[in-house]
Amino acid sequence: MQTLTLRCTLKPTPEQAAALEETVRLFAEGCNHALRVAREHGEFRRFKLHHLVYNDLRSMGLSANLAVQAIARVGRKKGSRARFYQPTSCAFDQRTLSLRREDESVSLTTTAGRLIVPMKLGNYQRGMLKRARSVQGGVLTRGPKGKWYINLILRLEVPTPPTGGGKVVGLDMGQRYMATLSSGIQVSGGGVKSRRIHLRNKRAEVRSRLDTERTRGVVRLWERLTGREARFLSHTLHTLAKHIVDGLEPGDTLAIEDLTHLRSRTAKRGSVERHLHHLWPYARFRSLLEYKAALRGVRVVAVDPRHTSQECPRCGHTERGNRRSQALFRCTACGFQHNADWVAATNIARRAGSTGMGRCKPARILRVSSLHRLPSESPRL
Ligand SMILES: [Zn+2]
């Protein structure tokens, strides 16, 4: 079983939209009240907080479930406490939200009673909803342009990978080529790097303007830019992970490097590089790969990353000098020569139990931006 969040667009009627608006507003008010009380009493433990504010929240007009959700939100985590809750989202659980597959809508308990709100689904969402065993609840959110979304929390059945057979494919990740597979496919970042630098510079420029002219327009621009780079990166990672996993069959194994070590290997100086480096979230990419692979019945194995780019896949000779350049590998012992990233990917595959050298053909180079069009789902990480 696996839990997954699926974002769907809602198509409320104007009356329904007004009811959603009121529910979200009241929910935020409830959260802010709970937050105030929690601060006054210095008490953020959920149980204690419940006793302090539950009755207040109920008398404000929140349903029992929404009151519980509001307390959960305020009492949730240490260290990452909000100072104030904006009326932009509201959580529902299994009792206050249910999915109606027959007419592609969700039933929500709002301050105006039970509403049946139609959803606008794409093929991806339809497929995921079909596979879902159950819906555990969801989060209603309002986008910046006033659109309404529901982030459904789904429980999915995960296929058990067939044992035996299946190929092992190694994946090497880098800065220049985002991904190189031992099966011969290489994905270049294309414009990813330059676009991120562009977004970063633009953001820095607006940031400095904020100091002198703190107008509403500039603040808005700053907020908009803040999200843009993160969304761009998130989309890129999803696209790449999907492409890699879709190219494998159930029962195959994807071998990756144990990513915690990769950081030190590619350590770079300079603020731009450092920024890109830190925002290349290996751990996040790995968990993306793992969850997409699990849904497809593909195993993910992490291997020792040491010297994967220096070891000769033909004779095993390992030496720094084998790596002639960023792009070229040439064994000083046996003369074997190939694309350096592909050599690393092949070594990674072998460490995960692959036999043979994979497909020893020139890499096919793809651009990450061309892997597929923007998906209708917008991934949450
Ligand atoms: Zn060799």
Asked whether the beta carbons of 140 and 108 are under 8 A apart, the reply is: yes
- pTM beyond 0.85: the answer is no
Q: Which two structure tokens, joined as six digits, stand for 89?
A: 């989202």
User: What pLDDT was estimated at residue 171?
Assistant: 93
Asked whether the beta carbons of 128 and 379 are under 8 A apart, the reply is: no
Asked whether the beta carbons of 311 and 318 are under 8 A apart, the reply is: yes
Instruction: Using the mean position of ligand 1's atoms as its centre, give its distance from the Cα of residue 257 in Å.
Output: 22
Three-state DSSP at 127 gives helix
Instruction: Using the mean position of ligand 1's atoms as its centre, give its distance from the Cα of residue 322 in Å.
Output: 9
Q: Which residues are within 5 Å of ligand 1 (an ion), measured at CB?
A: 312, 314-315, 317, 331, 333-334, 336
Q: What is the pLDDT of residues 241-260, one digit of tens each?
A: 999 999 999 889 999 988 66
Q: What is the pLDDT of residues 98-154, one digit of tens each?
A: 999 888 999 999 888 899 999 999 888 898 898 888 999 999 999 877 899 999 999
Q: Would residue 89 be called left, alpha or beta, if left means φ above 0 and alpha means ψ between -120 and 50 degrees?
A: beta
Instruction: Using the mean position of ligand 1's atoms as its centre, give its distance from the Cα of residue 164 in Å.
Output: 30
Q: What is the pLDDT of residues 167-212, one digit of tens each?
A: 899 998 876 778 889 988 888 776 777 777 788 888 888 888 887 8
Instruction: Using the mean position of ligand 1's atoms as its centre, give its distance from the Cα of residue 83 in Å.
Output: 60
Domain(s) labelled CATH 3.30.420 in the chain stretch across 168-192+230-370
Instruction: Using the mean position of ligand 1's atoms as its centre, give its distance from the Cα of residue 168 in Å.
Output: 22
User: What pLDDT was estimated at residue 78?
Assistant: 59
Instruction: Using the mean position of ligand 1's atoms as its centre, give its distance from the Cα of residue 173 in Å.
Output: 23
Please tell us whether the domain made up of 168-192+230-370 is placed in CATH 3.30.420: yes
Three-state DSSP at 350 gives helix
Instruction: Using the mean position of ligand 1's atoms as its centre, give its distance from the Cα of residue 316 in Å.
Output: 6
Q: Which two structure tokens, joined as six digits, stand for 131?
A: 């596979």
